[in-house]
Amino acid sequence: MAEATHPLPEYAVLGARIPRIDAAAFVTGQARFATDLSVPGMLHCQLRYSEQAPARITGIDVSAARQLPGVEAVLTAADVPGMPRTGMGFVARSLFARETARTVADVVAAVAAIDEATARRAVELIDVTYEDLPGAFSLDDARRQDAPLVHPETASLPVVPWLQRWTVRDQGNVVTHFRVRKGDTAAARPRAAVVVQDRFRTQRMEHFSMEPHGAVVNYDAATDRVTLWSSTGKPFRTITQLAELLQLPTNRVTAVYVPAGGDFGGKGEVTIEPYCALLSKKTGRPVKGVYSREEEFFAATCKTPFDIDMALGAERDGALVFIDAGLWLDTGAYNSMSAMVSVYASVLVEGPYNVSNVSVDARCVFTHNVMSGSFRGFGSPQVAFARESLIDEAAKALSLDPVEIRLRNGWRPGAVTCTGQVLSPDRHSVTVCETIRAAAEASGWEARRADARTPSGTDGRKRRGIGIATAHHGLGGPAVAGVDTATAFVKANPDGTVTVISAAADVGQGIDTALSQIVAEALGLPRAAIAIGIKSTDAVPEDYGASASRTMYSVGNAVRAGALDLRQKLVGVAARMLEADPQDVDCAQGKLFVRGAPGRALAIAEVVHHAMRGEGEQPIGVGRHRGRAVPMNAEARGELQTFEYSTQVAEVEVDLDTGDVRVLRLVNAQEIGRAVNPLIVEGQMEGGMVMGLGFALLEEVVCRDGQVLNPYAFDYRIPRAEDAPELVTVMLQHRDPIGPYGAKGVGEICMDPTAAAIANAVADAIGTRVTSLPITPEKVLRALRERRAP
Amino acid sequence: MLQPFRLHDPATVADASNLLADLGEEARAYAGGTELLLAMKQGLLHYRHLVNIKPLGLSGIRFDEETRRLRIGATTTHRAVEHSAVVAARAPMLASMERHLANVRVRAVGTVGGNLCFAEPHSDVATVLLLHEATATLGSARGRRVVGIAELLRDAYTTCLHPDELLLDIEVPELPPNAGAAYQKAAFLERPSVGVGVALLPAADGSTVAEARVAVGCLGPVPVRVGEAERALAGAPLRGRAFERALDAALDAVGRACEPVDDLYGSAGYKRQLGVALMRRAAVAARDHAAPARGGGISATD
Amino acid sequence: MQPTSDVARDLASIECRLNGRRLQAVVPVHRTLLDFLRNDLGLTGAKRACDVQVCGACTVLVDGMPVSACTYLALEVHGKTVETCEGLARDGRLHPIQQAFVDAGALQCGFCTPGMVMITRALLNDHPRPSVEVIKAYLHGNLCRCTGYKKILEAVETAARACAAEDRAAAT
C-alpha cells in the first residue's frame, strides 16, 4: 500500500488501522443476523409466485393449502382490499397479483405455517390457472410500436414526485426520458479529428449478498404497531414502504437494526417484510420469512441491464470534443430504483473529464422481466465501461498513450460538469489527474505496457494485456431527488463514557468502527470509551440508509458535529466548575483541564455528574449534516455533494485457445479524502475491485422469456479466491473540505472503473474488443474469430 | 427443503437389493448424498425411502498386483481417493482429477460410486474412468455382473443398473508404465463445461503410439470415447511433424464427434471449439508424459 | 431366499461430541445438520447462504473433515465429533484462527466468516503449513462477496503460523 504524500495532521485515533469493534461476534458465530433470529410462537412464511408470466390469472384455489395441518394463514389478493402499491420510482408493484401476472416474481399467495417445510408444502398445494399473454422480454422487443404493454394503464401509473418531470406517458413501454445537454454535440461533431462509436451492453447482475433477504415481523394488535428485524440496509426506507403498504403511520412501524449480511444496493426495497406483516396481523403471531437463494435471483432486484449507444470525438491532441450517448435501461416490470439509476448514470457519462459538448438521452423501458434496480456503483460501472472503451479506441486512432489521453482531459479545479456544477477546491477535491498518475506509477504502466502482448504460457498460446480506466462517483444519490441530511446525537454518560446515537446502518462496511474513531478523535477519548448505541428507527433520527456512498460523509459529518457539540458543552460545564474561561479549557485523554495548569483537571465523569446533578442537564451533543447539493431540475442542472475518483490498471492473460481471461493484477489509485481507518478502507477497495472483476468477466443472470435460468450458486459464478488477482491499493488522501476530517465515501467508486480497465486490458491482449459484459471465454473466442475473418 | 423420507439400514448387499426391489421407484440407494440430497432438496427427485448403503462395507481402495488393477469400493469418498498413495502411484490422472473435483467439502462426503450412479453429464469421474477402461461390478440378491463404464452410463442421469442392483466397486486397470495420460477440463461454472482425457500407450520401441484413447465428457448426455480420433493417433510417431498431423486429424474427429447443445455452459459451437482445444492440450501433455525408455511416466496435468 | 433384515427409521438417535461436549438427540432422518444446528440447537453460526454446497457458509467439521451442513443429514454425526465456529474460542479467548481474521480485517458483512473460519480449521488439520496454492484450493468452495479475499488469505496465512507456533509450544 502506498501512502499519500499530502501532509496530514497527526491524530491519535483517526487514521488508525484498528480491527473492527464488532469483529469478535462474527468470528465466533455469535452475531445474530435477521435470518438467524427466532422468537417464541413464530410462524414461517413462504410465497407462491406466478410460474407463468405475463399471464391472466383465471383462478386461484387455496383450499387445499388452508386445510393442510400446520398452516395458520393463506393470503391472496382477495384478502387485501384496496391493494396498495409500492415503488421508489414508479409506484407500480402490488403485493399480490390479482388478475394479471406481469413477471414470474409476482406473488399470488403468501402462507404462514408452523415450520418452513409445512409452509413450502402448502405453497405447492395452491392451484393457480392462467391464460398466457404475449410478453416483451428484451429492450428491443419492448420498444417496438406493437409491443404488448407491460402496464396498459401506463398513462395513469403513479410516479414519485421527483421523477414526474422525466416521465413520458405516450411511448408505450418507454416510460422515462432523462436528458443531459451541455454545449452542442451536433455542431461539435465535425470538429473532431476522430470519432469512435459503438453499442455496448451490460448484463443483469445479482448482488449475491451472502445473507439472503429475510425478516422477522411482529404485529401487535393491542397497540396497532409493527416491529421488525430485517436484513435491510436502509431501515427507514423499509419502514416507509412497509407503512405505506400496511396503511399505517411510520411511527407505528419500527425496524430494529441488526447486522445485514451484505447489501451492495440490493437491500433497499421491501421484499418479504410486508407479507410477514400481513400474516402476523392475520394470525396474531410473529412471522419469519427468508428468501431462498433462488428467490434472491428473481424476487429481489438485480443490477439494471443497459444498452448503451455511445459516440465520442476527440481532437488530434486527444482533447475530447463531445460525447453523445443513448442509454436504454431494462427496468423489468416495476421500474423502482432503475429510474434514479438512469438519471445518475446519465450525469456520469461524461466521466471526470472536460468535455464541452455532452448529450445524453436515458430511457427506462418496462419489460416483462423480473425487476431490476440499484447495485453498488449505481450506473457508473455501466457507463464507465462504454466511455473508457471508446477513450482507448480514440487514443489508438490518434496514436496516444491511454494514460496521456486521460491526463489530457481530466478535470482541473474550476471545471464545470455537464449539470453545471463548478468544481471548486473549497467544496470538493478535484484530484482525478492525481489518481491517473498514481495508478500509472503504481502499476509500472510504461514498462508493463511495453511487455504486454508478448506471447506467454508454455505453448505460447496466451497473450497478456494491460488496460487503464478512470471513473468518478458523485456522492449522495438523494441529491437527484433532494438535499441529503443526517442528524446524530452524542451522549456523555454519568460514568464518563460516551454513547453515539446515529442512524448509520452497518451492512459490512464497518461504519460503526469508523464512527467511534471519529468521536474518540473529536473528544480526545480512548476509542474504548465510545459505544455505538443499539439502533432502531424509533431511537435514531431519520436517515436515507447505507447507500450512495453517503454514510461516512453525511452521517459521519453529523456524528463529528455532534461530538464537537458535546465537547463544547463539556468544556462549558468544566469551565464553570473550574472557574476558568471556556477558551482555556481543553478536553483530551479523558480529562477536561485548564491549558497550562495540569492541576486544574476534571474527569469527564465528574463533569457529567455536575452537569446533571448540579446544573440539571445531561450533556448531549447534537450534530447535523446539511447536504450542499442542489437538486437536479428539469433541465438536468444541479449539484452533487462531492466527487470521488478512481483510476485502475488491470493486467490480464488471455488464453487464445479457450478464451479464458485471467486477471493477474489490479491496481486501484483512489481518492478517498481521508482514511478514518485504513484497514477498513483497504477492505472496501479490494472487495470492490473483485466485485468489479465479477461484473467484467463472470457474472450474468440469464433470463429467457421472463424466466431466470440460472438462479443457483452452481450456475452463477461470483469471484472465488483463486479468481482474485494481486490487488494493489493506493489511497490518495487529499482531504475533502466538507467530509468529516476530510473523509468521504469509498465503497462504490472502488468498483466503478474496474470492468472498464479489465475490458481495455483484454482488448490490448487480443487486439479486438468485446463490447458486452461479461467478457466470457465464449465471447473472447468469437471476437478472435471475427478479427481473423475480415 | 428436504421432504420427509424413511431411512433403511440393510445389513448386507442382498438385503439392500431386496429392499430396493420391494420399494421400487419410491426408493434410492443413499451413500454420501451430495448429489441425491441436493436434487431432493431442489424438488427434482422425490423418494419416500432411502436405502443407506454406507454400512455395507463397500468402501476401500486396494491394488491387485496380479491383475494390475486398482479396486475402489463404491462408497469410497472422493477425499479418500484424492489422498490415497496407492491411487497416486497407480492412477495419477485419477488422483489429479479428484483433487479438482467440486470442493473440499463435497469430496469429504461424496462417493465415487454415487457420482457414477447419478450419471450427471458433467461428471469428471466417468470421463477419466472411461479412459482407464475401468469396469464396474454390480451386485444384487441375484448375483453379480461386471460392465464397462460405457455400458454403465446409458444416458444423462440413467445407468444400466436394474432396480435391485447396486454398484459395488470399480476396477481401474493401471496404464502401462510407459504410457502418457492427461485430463484437461474447463470449468467456468461450478461443474465443468468440457472435460477431455487422452492416453497414449507407446509401442515397445517407444517411438510410436501403439494405442490411443480419447474420452470426451460434458459435451453429450454421457462421456464418450472417440474411436475415430483414437484411430487417427494409433500408429503415429510420438515425436515430430507426423504426430502433429495425426493429432490434427484426431482433433477434426473430436470436433465431428461432439454433439453439444446450446445451454448455460455456452453455445454448441463454443463447446465444440473448447473440446478441441482441450483435446490438443491433453494430447500434447500425454505425449510429453509418455516415456519411451523408462517406466512410471504416467502423469496428469491439471 | 433369506428374509430381508431391515431397520427402517423415521427418527434417528444420535450421540456425538459437539464442540467438546457430549450430545444426545433424536432427529427426523431427513433433518439436515444445518437445520439441526440452527433450529434445534440454536447454534446459528453456520449460515444458510447458497444451500447447494457451493458457498461454504455452512461449513462445519465432522471428525475433523469439512462438510456442507446444508446438504448433510444430521443423523450422520452419530458417533462422531462435530465442531462449529461457536466451539473454537476457549475461556473467553479467541482461537488463533479467529484472532487472525479479526486482526487482518478479513471480514466485512461477516456472513461468510464462520464458514471461512471452519474451512481454515479443516485446512490446518490437513496441512499445518499450507502453501498459497493449497490455501486457495481449500477456499475454492468458500465464497465471500465483500472482501475480495486478499485479507482472508492473509488471515489464513497468519493463522497457520499462529497455530504452528501454538503446537510447538504445546510440544515443549
B120 touches chain C (CB under 8 A): no
* pLDDT > 90? residue A405: yes
Q: Which residues of C touch A33 (CB under 8 A)?
A: 44, 47, 111
Average pLDDT over residues A321-332: 98
User: Which alpha helices (H) appear in A85-184, and where do they start and end?
Assistant: 116-125, 139-143
**Do C139 and A722 lie within an 8 Å CB cutoff?**
yes
Cα A474 from Cα A484, distance rounded (Å): 13
Total number of residues shown for chain B: 302
A33: cell is 443476523
The pLDDT value given to residue A478:
52
Q: Which chains would you list as touching A if contact means 3+ CB atom pairs under 8 Å?
A: B, C
Domain boundaries, chain B: 6-55, 57-173, 180-289
Q: What is the DSSP letter of A159?
A: B
The pLDDT value given to residue A695:
98
How far away is chain A from the Cα of B190, in angstroms, using its nearest Cα?
A: 5
* pLDDT > 80? residue A339: yes
**Which CATH number, 3.30.70.100, 3.40.50.1970, 3.30.390.50, 3.40.50.300, labels domain B180-289?**
3.30.390.50
**Do B278 and A658 lie within an 8 Å CB cutoff?**
yes
Counting other chains too, the contacts that A4-10 makes at CB distance below 8 Å and 24 or more residues apart are A4/A731, A4/A732, A4/A733, A4/A734, A6/A732, A6/A733, A6/A734, A6/A735, A8/A674, A8/A733, A8/A735
Mutation choice for A interface testing from C44, C90, C108 by most A CBs within 10 A: C108
Q: What is the CA radius of gyration of chain A?
A: 27
Q: How would you label B97-132 residue by residue, b for 16+ Cβ within 10 Å and e otherwise? A: bbbbbbbbbbbbbbbbbbbbbbbbbbbbbbbbbbbb
Q: What percent of chain A has pLDDT over 90?
A: 89
CATH class entry, domain B6-55:
alpha beta
How far away is chain C from the Cα of A583, in angstroms, using its nearest Cα?
A: 40
**Do B188 and A777 lie within an 8 Å CB cutoff?**
yes
The pLDDT value given to residue A244:
92
Q: What is the mean pLDDT of chain A?
A: 94
The pLDDT value given to residue A616:
97
From residue A240, alpha-carbon distances to A245, A279, A371, B255 in Å are: 9, 19, 20, 59
Q: What digits encode the pLDDT tens for the residues C117-165? A: 999 999 999 999 999 999 999 999 999 999 999 999 999 999 999 999 9
Q: What is the CA radius of gyration of chain C?
A: 17
More confident site: A154 or B47: B47
Task: State the CB neighbour count (10 A cutoff) for residue B186.
Answer: 22
The pLDDT value given to residue A510:
96
Cα A142 from Cα A149, distance rounded (Å): 8
Chain centroid to CA A465: 30
Average pLDDT over residues A765-770: 96
Instruction: Give the dihedral sign, CA A80/A82/A237/A753.
Output: positive
C127 touches chain B (CB under 8 A): no
Average pLDDT over residues A159-185: 95
Identify the three-state secondary structure at position A495. Answer: coil
C103 touches chain B (CB under 8 A): no
* pLDDT > 80? residue A632: yes
Mutation choice for B interface testing from A658, A708, A712 by most B CBs within 10 A: A658
Omega before residue A274 within 30° of 0, cis:
no
Q: Which residues of B touch A717 (CB under 8 A)?
A: 188-190
Average pLDDT over residues A299-307: 97
**Do A715 and B188 lie within an 8 Å CB cutoff?**
no
Return the minimum-mean-pLDDT range out of A77-81, A182-186, B35-39, B156-160: A77-81
Cα A217 from Cα A539, distance rounded (Å): 18
Q: Which residues of B touch C71 (CB under 8 A)?
A: 33-34, 37-38, 41
Chain A, chain C: beta-carbon pairs less than 8 Å apart: 174
Question: Which residues, at least 6 apart from A660, have a Cβ–Cβ distance to it below 8 Å?
Answer: A654, A777, A780, B186
How far away is chain A from the Cα of B267, in angstroms, using its nearest Cα?
A: 8
B2 touches chain C (CB under 8 A): yes
* pLDDT > 90? residue A310: yes
Q: What is the ipTM of this complex?
A: 0.97
The pLDDT value given to residue A459:
74
Comparing CA positions, the residue from C20, B194, B55 lying closest to residue A660 is B194
Mutation choice for C interface testing from B103, B118, B185, B189 by most C CBs within 10 A: B103
**Do A691 and C39 lie within an 8 Å CB cutoff?**
no
Q: Which residues of B touch C4 (CB under 8 A)?
A: 10, 14-15, 18-19, 22
Domains of chain C: 4-87 (3.10.20.30), 96-171 (1.10.150.120)
Of C43, C49, C105, the CB nearest to A211: C49
Average pLDDT over residues B46-75: 97
**Do B103 and C56 lie within an 8 Å CB cutoff?**
yes
* pLDDT > 90? residue A736: yes
Cα C70 from Cα B166, distance rounded (Å): 26
Question: Which residues, at least 6 apart from A492, have a Cβ–Cβ distance to it below 8 Å?
Answer: A498, A566, A569, A570, A604, A607, A608, A611, A618, A619, A620
Average pLDDT over residues B223-241: 96
The pLDDT value given to residue A5:
38
How far away is chain C from the Cα of B245, in angstroms, using its nearest Cα?
A: 37
Identify the three-state secondary structure at position B98. Answer: helix
CB A57 within 8 A of CB A99: yes
B190 touches chain A (CB under 8 A): yes
The pLDDT value given to residue A8:
40
**Do B9 and C141 lie within an 8 Å CB cutoff?**
no
Q: Compute φ and ψ for B194, nearest 5 degrees.
A: -150, 140
The pLDDT value given to residue A629:
77
How far away is chain C from the Cα of B75, in angstroms, using its nearest Cα?
A: 14
Average pLDDT over residues A420-443: 94
Average pLDDT over residues A397-419: 97
A717 touches chain B (CB under 8 A): yes
Average pLDDT over residues A672-690: 97
Does this chain's domain B57-173 share its CATH topology with B180-289? no
Q: Compute φ and ψ for A316, nearest 5 degrees.
A: -60, -35
The pLDDT value given to residue A479:
62
The pLDDT value given to residue A756:
98
The pLDDT value given to residue A460:
84
Average pLDDT over residues A773-778: 98
**Do B33 and C6 lie within an 8 Å CB cutoff?**
no
- Residue whose cell numbers read 468535455: A355
**Do B7 and C12 lie within an 8 Å CB cutoff?**
yes
CB A342 within 8 A of CB A363: yes
* pLDDT > 50? residue A120: yes
Of A658, A702, A713, the CB nearest to B277: A658
How far away is chain C from the Cα of B2, in angstroms, using its nearest Cα?
A: 6
Q: Which chains would you list as touching B if contact means 3+ CB atom pairs under 8 Å?
A: A, C
A259: cell is 447486522
Does domain B57-173 fall under CATH 3.40.47.10? My reply is no
The pLDDT value given to residue A12:
66
The pLDDT value given to residue A7:
38
How far away is chain C from the Cα of A213, in angstroms, using its nearest Cα?
A: 10
The pLDDT value given to residue B300:
44
Average pLDDT over residues A453-468: 84
The pLDDT value given to residue B296:
38
How far away is chain B from the Cα of C10, in angstroms, using its nearest Cα?
A: 5
pTM: 0.97
Comparing CA positions, the residue from C57, C81, C33 lying closest to residue C141 is C57
**Do C107 and A23 lie within an 8 Å CB cutoff?**
yes
